[in-house]
Amino acid sequence: MKPLPIILTFALIICLSGCKSAATKSLIREAEQGNAAAQFELGVLYENGRGVITNRGAAEKWYRKAAEQGHAEAQYNLGAMSYRNTYYFEAAKWYRLAAEQGNATAQNEIGHLYFNGLGVPKDHAEAVKWFGMAAEKGNALAQRNLGFIYKGGFGGVPRDDAEAVKWYRMAAEQGHTEAKNILKEYGKFEENLKKAMQGDAQAQYNLGYMYDYGDGIVKQSHDEAMKWYLKAAGQGEARALHNLGFNYNYGRGMPQNIIEALKWYRLAADQGHREAKNQFELLSHFEETRQKAEKNDAQAQYELGRIYEEGEGVNKDASEARKWYGLAAGQGYTEASVALLGMKYEEMLEKLRVSNEQLVRDLRAENERQAWELRAANEQQARELRAENDRLAQELRAETERLEQERRARSSNNKSRQH
């Protein structure tokens, strides 16, 4: 079999990728005549390269024509194209128009823009409104988003675990993986609560930890944490004993109390808890050093300054470190004088770092502001250019039609003369 001539081969390749079928040609004719549904379908073909060469510009053109006639799906797709190009103002415009027509996907997306302040002012209550509309229509992403907001209690929207579970469950029933995983976490909390109420020490510790650190399923509450830790500690739960010591040691949710911390650390260490044993030793050294320093022992004053500077078994405290270094240095303790100079140098570097970071943030904010303004101006210019192109195209079509009518008239006159 002879190979095809090169020109024919190129022609075949072009045809395979771009030749329009009769159906596509018919769709183009309908779109050009102003049929919004045809304009939308043609936009889909151009965006996805179905029966035509992929052309994002042409897709946007036909989506826009359909969108301007109120076609909700075209409005959504135009919003999605704008969002992917980070034209958030334009995206918000088209998403809103589609959302107001009841398009659930667009309602979820405009909610997303309000939640993050993209192209619109950040407004969590407004986000909840749009997510709610989409969620009621069965949109799984919106259901997950509502669950997320009620679980976290964002921006004036009160935390509501019952509402969170309700929406996560609805999303999970539609196969949303994240919603399924979060429901499992809620299930673990309920299981621990049930066991803890029955006196299970491990479950009581688990609840205490959840409340202590606010793992996302429950709101952080040191009071609730202490309640459950104490219940578990009363049954000899070593981890609960350690965490009680830790919270008293570092003043988490309560005033710092070294004596109480040492008491709980010792009880946990007696149960074989290694970290509690280490913390007990560090805190014992701190307490012994503090007592000597208060009796004007220069070496102890220097050591106490070092402990505070490094946060060794206690919270870091630069003010306390400088105080004790200063007292030791006042007694001629050379290492304390050197330590004070080192702290001043580190503080100077920190101030410089903070100043530089602020400068970078200011520059970034200014660049973002200018970028937003430029993007908005470009979007406006693009709209004006599209409008001008559409006007010129309409004039060209009208002129073409006029010339064609004149040609037909001349042809008809010529035929009449021949007869």
Average pLDDT over every residue of 313-335: 94
128 pLDDT exceeds 90? yes
8 pLDDT exceeds 50? no
Q: How much is the pTM? A: 0.61
4 pLDDT exceeds 70? no
Which range (58-72, 324-338, 396-410) has the least confidence? 396-410
| Predicted pLDDT of residue 389 | 82
| Predicted pLDDT of residue 386 | 77
| Predicted pLDDT of residue 167 | 94
Which range (29-33, 104-108, 224-228, 395-399) has the least confidence? 395-399
CA R_g for the chain: 36
Location of structure tokens 């609960």? 240
Average pLDDT over every residue of 269-298: 95
Q: Which CATH architecture has domain 199-278?
A: Alpha Horseshoe (1.25)
* 268 touches 242 (CB < 8 A): yes
Q: Please tell me the distance from the alpha carbon of residue 407 to that of residue 393, in angstroms, as a whole number.
A: 21
What Cα–Cα distance (Å) separates residue 62 from each residue in 23, 196, 231, 378, 392?
17, 62, 67, 20, 16
Average pLDDT over every residue of 287-302: 95
pLDDT digits (tens, 9 = 90+) for 158-191: 888 889 999 999 999 999 999 999 999 899 989 9
Task: Look at 7 and 231; give whichever has higher pLDDT.
Answer: 231
Neighbouring C-beta atoms of residue 122, cutoff 10 Å: 13
1 pLDDT exceeds 60? no
Q: Which two tokens stand for residue 182?
A: 């979060």
Average pLDDT over every residue of 90-110: 96
Which of these, 153, 154, 180, 185, lies nearest to 167 by C-alpha position? 180
Q: Which two tokens stand for residue 278?
A: 């280490």
Who contacts 117 (Cβ-Cβ below 8 Å, separation ≥6)? 123
Please report, for the chain, the start and end positions of each structural domain, with discontinuous segments joined by +: 199-278, 296-340
Q: What is the DSSP string of 33-63?
A: TT-HHHHHHHHHHHHHTSSS---HHHHHHHH
State the burial class of residue 402 (Cβ atoms within 10 Å of its Cβ: 0-12, 13-18, 19+). Answer: exposed
Average pLDDT over every residue of 11-29: 63
Q: Please tell me the distance from the alpha carbon of residue 181 to that of residue 178, in angstroms, as a whole number.
A: 5
pLDDT digits (tens, 9 = 90+) for 182-229: 999 899 989 999 999 999 999 999 999 999 998 767 888 999 999 999
Neighbouring C-beta atoms of residue 11, cutoff 10 Å: 13
As a three-state string, the secondary structure of 358-388 is HHHHHHHHHHHHHHHHHHHHHHHHHHHHHHH
Strands (E), 220-364: none
Q: What is the DSSP letter of 119?
A: S
